[in-house]
Amino acid sequence: MYEVSENNMTQDVDSYFKSAFHQIRSAPGLIIPSLISSALSSAVGWAIILTVLVLSLPLLAEVAPIVEQNQDLISEIIGEEHLEDDIDPKIEELVEEFSGLVPVMIGLFIMFLIVLCVIWIIYFALYAWVYAGTIGYLWQGITTTTDFRNFLYYAKKYSFRIMGLWILVYIFSIVLFLVPFFILVFVPSPANIAIFVLSIILCIILWLVVMVLLFFAEECIVIEGMGVIGSVKRSKDIVSGNIGSVLIFILILIVAFIAFFVIEGIFEVIALLFNSSLTPFFMLFLIVILVPWIQLSKINFFLDRTGVAVKEMDKEIEIIKTVREFIARSPYILIDFIRKNKVYLLAALSVYGIGIGIGYYIGHSFFFLSEETIMVLSEGWEEQRWLGPYISMPLIDTIYYFSNNIGVSMNLGLSGIFLGVPTIAGGIVNAAIIGMFYGIVPAETATAFIAVHGIPECMALVVATAAGIKLGVKIMGSPENGDEALMETLEVVLATSLLLGIAAFLEAFVTPIVISLMF
């Protein structure tokens, strides 16, 4: 018989958050599941962008010539310079030309929707896999050892049960919120409006109550090995016996997120005044600190209320000292990886070659717009869109570039856990951006914008891609060596931060000078 009472030497709710912070400081490897979850989200974005790029290729040969031949007319239409009552025959011809492409565009759009559905289904399954692995890894990490094989084991064993639970929740939610709309349709007016509003409120309240009762359902599946229905009942029992603590815990989470987004919003406004953004920095903080902290706090809560002991963690690491030592080792880590993994580097370079080729083909199809593009870019360095004269704070720009690129590098490397496919997609997408830029503007202009900071940045991303491909190959070949393979990937990806830091500094401080000399 399980004990779910609040009265048996249980800890205060705030102690779970304190313990989680100490656990992260003592065992930084506990943040790995959050990094993998972030990599999965990026993988979805890359898959969608790559789908759009590939599906757009058949249209380019048709659309680009039409746009080029009617460039002035399209500019006039966009600028609303055609104000005559009679429709210009040229506009009618243009409409007719584009109308001929409608069947092809409809077909491609249907294909895109089908691919989008497939991507969503795969994402749903993989996210359940990651979620199950996260719970198992963190549970074992604070009770026994932080071995990544635990992640793979629990992900494989319980992902289908997690999916079953979520499908059950989705079905319940859909059915519940359909009820008010049935009332709106079948109850005679005008009473149906009042009943509809009341039923919406009641459904929201009922849904929130059910979600609170299911607060520990996933933990019950992974940690206690329960089935879907058993986890629902077990979570209800635990929450019912600790309802006060659960509500306080949820309130702390809400306050923490509100505080985070308020602070992020304030700093983002300040950054916008200097034509920059700090969103990537705060997203990095969210992934590396806030999300693991909350995940560990919840598992500490669950383990304490179910009578499972947590091990005494080692003393906290000295972060500044550890970071300094790692930065000093980074060049040797990168050199060693490059020396020992030439095959994977060639594979990564091939991926980037494909991406640059696709991007260049798309961009070059619209090369006739290069003058307008250069004008927009040059004006962008002289004026700010909303706030008048262009002003910049290179330090903020450095933080922005570094945070964004280290996030991309980590996602490229760690998404290799999904058999390397997202890593390849991400490499193609990132390379396509470069290729597109070189395709649409003259090479010397593109080089001025990219070359100064692009060399260390591209080197870092190619190495991260190679590490991700290697991780995928190792996971496919021998999952039992997953811990060693992931640790190598993580070490290499973090080592690329040295190159990305140099690139961020150059992009913020040097590239603007080069561009200003050109324009």
Question: What is the pLDDT, as a whole number, of residue 4?
Answer: 45
Question: What is the pLDDT, as a whole number, of residue 125?
Answer: 97
105-114, 292-301, 361-370 — which is least confidently predicted?
A: 361-370
The answer to whether residue 8 sits within a structural domain is: no
* Angle value at C-alpha 235, between 231 and 239, nearest 5 degrees: 180
Q: Which residue has the higher pLDDT, 86 or 491?
A: 491
Is pLDDT at 83 greater than 60 in this prediction? Answer: no
Verify that 33 and 92 share a domain, yes or no: yes
Verify that 183 and 80 share a domain, yes or no: yes
Verify that 38 and 181 share a domain, yes or no: yes
Contacts of 364 (CB under 8 A, 6+ apart): 439, 440
The answer to whether residue 5 sits within a structural domain is: no
Confidence band, pLDDT 50/70/90 cuts, at residue 378: low
Verify that 336 and 292 share a domain, yes or no: no
d(CA 294, CA 178): 33
Question: What is the pLDDT, as a whole number, of residue 8?
Answer: 47
Instruction: Kindly report, residue by residue over 20-51, the tens digit of the pLDDT.
Output: 999 999 999 999 999 999 999 999 999 999 99
Quote the number of domains for the chain.
2
CB-CB contact of 220 with 231 (8 Å): yes
The answer to whether residue 29 sits within a structural domain is: yes
Question: What is the pLDDT, as a whole number, of residue 442?
Answer: 84
Average pLDDT for residues 96-123, to the nearest whole number? 88
| Amino acid sitting at position 432 | A
**Within 365-442, where are the H helices?**
370-382, 394-414, 421-440
Instruction: DSSP for 83-152, please give it.
Output: --SSPPHHHHHHHHHHHTTHHHHHHHHHHHHHHHHHHHHHHHHHHHHHHHHHHHHHHHHHHS---HHHHH
- Burial class of 35 by CB neighbour count within 10 A (0 to 12, 13 to 18, 19+): buried
State the CB neighbour count (10 A cutoff) for residue 439.
23
Verify that 17 and 146 share a domain, yes or no: yes
Query: CB-side exposure of 56: number of CA atoms within 13 Å?
Result: 14
The answer to whether residue 3 sits within a structural domain is: no
Most confidently modeled range among 58-62, 87-91, 251-255, 274-278: 251-255
**Among 254, 277, 303, residue at a domain's last position:** 303
Is pLDDT at 207 greater than 70 in this prediction? Answer: yes
Average pLDDT for residues 490-498, to the nearest whole number? 95
Verify that 322 and 290 share a domain, yes or no: no
**Among 272, 303, 334, residue at a domain's last position:** 303
Quote the percentage of the chain above a pLDDT of 70.
87
Verify that 95 and 134 share a domain, yes or no: yes
d(CA 257, CA 286): 10
Confidence band, pLDDT 50/70/90 cuts, at residue 484: confident
Contacts of 507 (CB under 8 A, 6+ apart): 397, 398, 401, 452, 453, 457
CB-CB contact of 180 with 199 (8 Å): yes
Verify that 18 and 125 share a domain, yes or no: yes
The answer to whether residue 4 sits within a structural domain is: no
Question: What is the pLDDT, as a whole number, of residue 111?
Answer: 95
| pTM of the predicted protein model | 0.89
Is pLDDT at 477 greater than 60 in this prediction? Answer: yes
Confidence band, pLDDT 50/70/90 cuts, at residue 491: very high
The answer, yes or no, to whether the previous bond of 394 is cis (omega within 30 of 0) is: no
The answer to whether residue 461 sits within a structural domain is: yes
Is pLDDT at 5 greater than 60 in this prediction? Answer: no
Verify that 150 and 287 share a domain, yes or no: yes
Quote the percentage of the chain above a pLDDT of 90.
64
**Among 303, 338, 367, residue at a domain's last position:** 303
d(CA 240, CA 242): 5
Average pLDDT for residues 143-159, to the nearest whole number? 93
The answer to whether residue 58 sits within a structural domain is: yes
Question: What is the pLDDT, as a whole number, of residue 92?
Answer: 66
By residue range, what is the domain housing residue 247? Answer: 13-303
Verify that 252 and 280 share a domain, yes or no: yes
For CA atoms 380, 385, 390, 394, the dihedral sign is negative
The mean pLDDT value of the chain amounts to: 87
The answer to whether residue 132 sits within a structural domain is: yes
Verify that 288 and 331 share a domain, yes or no: no
Query: Which three-class secondary structure state does DSSP give residue 365?
Result: coil
Contacts of 506 (CB under 8 A, 6+ apart): 452, 453, 456
Is pLDDT at 385 greater than 70 in this prediction? Answer: no
Verify that 297 and 332 share a domain, yes or no: no
